[in-house]
A and B are shown apart, each in its own frame.
Chain A
Amino acid sequence: MTRINVRVDGVTYDDDVEPRTLLVHYLREQLGKVGTVVGCDTSNCGACTVHLDGAAVKSCTVLAVQADDGEVTTIEGLAQDGSLHPMQKAFHEMHGLQCGFCTPGMIMASVDLLRENPDPSETEVREGIEGNLCRCTGYQNIVRAVQQAAGEMRGGARAPSGDGHVSPAEVDTAAAPHVAGAQS
């Protein structure tokens, strides 16, 4: 057993871990931080993505001992003072999730993407999150969400840059009266 000292979502923990323990297993099993999930065993899916000292890591690829003296933020610590992070809000607003299993990792990776590139194009978002797999959404609404959050975080109400694609709200306009008409 090895002693580690790690700060997770604002709380300091002092724990004994087996040297082979992965950070994700430490988070889930010892700290009960089950918001971070495991989706694969080859570091392909990114479902376990958290921030370690401010940068996104796949916590299945980091040993718990490597987080010693580090600061970890998980999806559970992303909202501040009871208000959602702009990325969380944008995923909700743009329907960037369905089953939600990839979502914690996807949100954490996307936040890190905007740290490096605050105004990504559609292509840059797609390439920026390619380490995170989603099986439900086909990614299109995730891309919208990341661009929406980017706009909010830059402080403007500017439309997402680059792709010129319509947002869901505009799509709704077309579909909703259509449906109402068909029903009445």
Chain B
Amino acid sequence: MTAVEDRSTEAPEREIGKARRRKEDARLITGRTTWTDNMVLPGMLHLSVVRSPVAHAKIASIDVSAAQQSPGVVAVYTGRDLAEEQGSIPCAWPVTPDMVNPGHPSVAVEEVNHVGEAVAVIVARSKVAAADAIELVDVDYDLLPPVLDMEEAVAEGAQLTHDHLESNTSYHFVFDAGEAGTGADTDQAFADADVVVSRRFVNQRLIPAFMEPRSVVVQPQGDNFTMWSATQIPHVLRVMLAMVTGVPEHKLRIIAPDVGGGFGGKLQVNPEEVIALLVARRLGKPVKWTETRSESLMTAHHGRDQIQYVDIASDREGNVKALRVRLLADMGAYLRLITPGVPALGAFMFPAIYKFPAYRFECDGVFTNKVPTDAYRGAGRPEATFAIERAMDELAVELGMDALELRRKNWIRAEEFPFTTVAGLEYDSGDYETATQQALELIGYDELREEQRRRRESNDPVQLGIGFSTFTEMCGLAPSRVLGSLSYGAGGWESASIRMLPTGKVEVVTGSTPHGQGHETAWSQLVADSLGVPFEDVEVLHGDTSVAPKGMDTYGSRSLVVGGTAVVKAADKVIAKARKVAAHLLEASEDDLEFENGRFSVRGTPGTGMGIQEIALAVFAAHNYPEDVEPSIDAEATFDPVNFSFPHGTHICAMEVDTETGMVKIRKYASVDDVGTIVNPLIVEGQMHGGLAQGIAQALYEEAVYDADGNLTTGTFVDYLVPSAADLPHFDTGNTVHPAPGNPIGAKGVGEAGCIASTPAVVNAALDAVRHLGVRDIRMPLTPERVWRALYEGGDGGDRATAGTNAYGGASTETTAGVSTDASSLGGDR
């Protein structure tokens, strides 16, 4: 039983809702696509980057003479050589007026502030020649103690990450609902509350770990430059590179060819992109840089990394009264594109789906001698969701209530939408109860609870737990005026244009640049329905600033919601223009024309009519068209949403915990998500799966670990555990559909949902399995070691890297950095 074949209708089938197989696949399953690293240009030179092996030091001297003599080496540049022209990696999100930004040179000039920071660039005839010369560059470092622990970093008298700054705090961001007029006085609400639960959660540092390593190619042509880059944001990159390097924007063309995943990790202006442009400009030759995986894990931006102090207040009956959140958010050593904005974006999502009368949020952005953090799938919202969904479970335990019952008591009811939250957001639509009911059925809840009871009563060494996450997120980034009010440096609109070709084929140009999401397929479905043309007749163009000159690119689950809407609005304009031409050619009044299934016909006159594809030919010939219009039915549109969209869902995880070994295993995972209208169910399901995998990976596997000297000890895929097929369960996913009222498609966004929702469901499930054994918390990722420690030693399982463990690389190599700190000599942990 397939939907597609069984639904026979007279009219052409609607494309929206159809499980179209992807247009993109043909080139990807045959190995015939263009990744940036595939580019080969005549005379191309290759770059390699000499990187700091220490976390914090002054650069005393750099001797590049031996490298310059190395066979095949054309040039070697240090930070000092590039200092006049490299500017600073831009930060587009000054979240507070007094935010401190230390500046971020692409190549370090005087000091290095994290392991892996670029200190010199080698240009050579071949990739191997460039790589071979790296070890010939001799750098003398005057070592400084590294700042690695956020709680120590904000303490009085702490060591400084940047010694020219007064402290390690970049900014202090506050949202107070009482002050904003969206809620009651938080302190008073806590003072009046019957029950207050306070917790400290660690949302560990993660690495986006896109599969395609970053790569950039620059070709100079006179005073013009073409850059190919494995980036999510060719349009943003073009503006930023122009501002940073002084290469005029109109002399710079950026192309993102097929890009192998990003997950926020390629939402960046990378030092290496600046370097490649500067070197190509200096030498007048095409250059290429492609990173190794180790470089990628060590130097591409990381994500998450917050310490969260959460206080939640309620009455005895479980009605929540107030929420207070204080964050320490690790910026790393520098501020990159939206580093400071990530926790600020999350600020508004901690109240989640619950009707808190009072809310206060405070966040310190903290510098440490680690690679900068920035966007990673969800960017602020997974952290918020984790904290609130964990806190709701903690409150339920304190009250002796069922975790789901507590949620139900406090969540926004279906009839209350649109609902303005205590954080001032207007949630658009949804039904949390229905999604929850469906998820309970999907997972077989009652049976699992029964099994849990049996295992508890029999003291089974393998205990079973069930965890919930009833989440929402804000998507469709973003209303430009709201971004402005949050001090973001750009807007959140999206652009599209439609070109009607003489043969009736259609070119759709989108400013939303995909990197695996399937825009070419989904946009074709949108346009096929709007214009009534065959799906196959639509070609979607993107990712090249010369072809698609305007755009804000792909992140924040925005593409369909904002970019897709721009496409639909452009199609509306095409139809409006074509209507005038059709009226002229059919010798009818525009008012008498109806447009259906791609044809204009005169109302009440069967058999007459003209297809929009024929009109495209007619205006190409332009022999006969109305006098007051241009001979074209092409159109473009820019869409700026008025509000965010708010997907939601209920995720339930059933987890087995082996109490003898600490091994955890997901027994079943079910989710029911409302992402609004579904344009392509296949793509939506795929996005859910991928998001779930990454959210589960945060709970169970992934953590960027630094040793006491500031070395990343998870710098390869041997140590940084991106899960394999064998590490993940089967997902049972479903949907409810409440169309988003804020856009004509009704879509809410799906790219981040699984990643945002799943993490707390998994941790809550593990805790539900062992809470009766006295375990109150287990730090992520839930390694067997941590789970075992939490069971047998108490506490939350502690840091992953402690002296003597493999994860703690510094214990046996305390002198790698040449400095012995208190922590390193004692085998302290991070």
Interface residues of A (CB under 8 A from B): 18, 28-29, 32-42, 44-45, 47, 74-76, 78-79, 84, 88, 91-93, 95, 97-104, 107, 122, 125-127, 129-143, 163, 165, 168-180, 182-183
Contact = CB atoms under 8 A, between A and B. Distances in A.
B728 interface: yes
A174 B29 CA distance: 28
B769 to A, nearest CB: 22
B29 A100 contact: yes
A91 B690 CA distance: 16
25 contacts: A34-B37, A35-B33, A41-B294, A45-B293, A79-B30, A95-B21, A98-B690, A100-B25, A126-B725, A127-B726, A130-B725, A133-B722, A138-B690, A139-B725, A165-B730, A170-B2, A172-B2, A172-B19, A176-B681, A179-B16, A179-B17, A179-B677, A179-B678, A182-B677, A182-B739
B577 to A, nearest CB: 25
A92 B726 contact: no
Given A142-B725, A168-B19, A137 B213 contact: no
B692 to A, nearest CB: 6
Contacts of B38: 28, 34
A134 B209 CA distance: 10
Contacts of B40: 32
B682 A95 contact: yes
A176 B717 contact: no
A103 B682 contact: no
A177 B18 CA distance: 9
A178 B1 CA distance: 16
B565 interface: no
Contacts of B735: 175, 178
B119 to A, nearest CB: 21
Given A138-B693, A170-B1, A182-B677, A99 B516 contact: yes
A134 B263 CA distance: 13
A41 B716 contact: yes
Interface of B: 1-4, 6-7, 14, 16-19, 21-22, 24-33, 35, 37-38, 40, 127-128, 209-213, 258-261, 263, 292-294, 515-518, 677-679, 681-687, 689-694, 716-718, 722, 724-728, 730-731, 734-735, 737-739, 746, 754
A92 B682 CA distance: 11
B149 to A, nearest CB: 29
A17 B263 CA distance: 37
A138 B697 CA distance: 10
Contact of B209 (A34, A107, A135, A140): A135
Contacts of A168: 19, 681-682, 685
A35 B258 CA distance: 12
A61 to B, nearest CB: 13
Nearest to B263: A135
A101 B261 contact: yes
A161 to B, nearest CB: 15
A134 B4 contact: no
Contacts of A137: 686, 689-690, 693
A32 B127 CA distance: 15
Given A134-B211, A172-B19, A99 B682 contact: no
A179 B21 CA distance: 18
A172 B19 CA distance: 6
B29 A169 contact: no
A44 B212 contact: no
A68 B728 CA distance: 38
A37 B686 contact: no
B724 A41 contact: no
Contact of A40 (B293, B682, B739): B293
A23 B652 CA distance: 45
A26 B500 CA distance: 44
Contacts of A45: 211, 293, 717
Contact of B211 (A28, A39, A130): A39
Contacts of A37: 35, 37, 212, 260
Contacts of B682: 95, 168, 172
A133 B30 contact: no
Given A98-B261, A138-B731, 5 more contacts: A130-B724, A135-B261, A139-B689, A168-B681, A172-B682
Contacts of B210: 99, 101, 135
Given A165-B730, A172-B19, A100 B516 contact: yes
B737 A44 contact: no
A135 B722 contact: yes
A42 B677 CA distance: 42
A183 B292 contact: no
Contact of B725 (A32, A129, A173, A180): A129
Given A134-B211, A178-B735, A88 B728 contact: no
The listed residue with most A CB atoms (<10 A of its CB), out of B33, B127, B687, B694, is B33
A98 B2 contact: no
B716 A44 contact: yes
A170 to B, nearest CB: 7
A42 B295 CA distance: 12
A100 B717 contact: no
Nearest to A107: B29
A47 to B, nearest CB: 6
Nearest to B126: A29
A36 B25 CA distance: 16
Nearest to A45: B717
A102 to B, nearest CB: 5
Q: Which 4 A-B pairs have the closest CB atoms?
A: A35-B31, A99-B516, A101-B260, A100-B28
Given A168-B685, A178-B735, A97 B693 contact: no
B685 A179 contact: no
B671 to A, nearest CB: 12
B19 A176 contact: yes
B503 to A, nearest CB: 26
Given A176-B681, A179-B737, A140 B730 contact: yes
A175 B690 contact: no
Contact of A98 (B29, B33, B686, B734): B686
Given A100-B258, A101-B35, A183 B716 contact: no
Given A127-B726, A141-B689, A171-B685, A180 B29 contact: no
A170 B687 CA distance: 18
Contact of B25 (A97, A125, A136, A170): A97
B3 A176 contact: yes
A136 B261 contact: yes
A4 to B, nearest CB: 17
Contacts of B515: 99
The listed residue with most B CB atoms (<10 A of its CB), out of A84, A171, A174, is A171
B29 A133 contact: no
A131 B604 CA distance: 65
A56 B180 CA distance: 61
B231 to A, nearest CB: 13
A172 B746 contact: no
Nearest to A177: B3
Given A41-B292, A101-B212, A142-B725, A183 B31 contact: no
Nearest to A79: B30
B681 A175 contact: yes
Nearest to A146: B725
B43 to A, nearest CB: 16
Nearest to A91: B29
B518 to A, nearest CB: 7
B21 A169 contact: no
Nearest to B682: A95
Nearest to A173: B3
Given A92-B25, A175-B17, A183 B725 contact: no
Contact of B1 (A29, A39, A84, A173): A173
Contacts of A91: 25, 29
Contacts of B292: 41
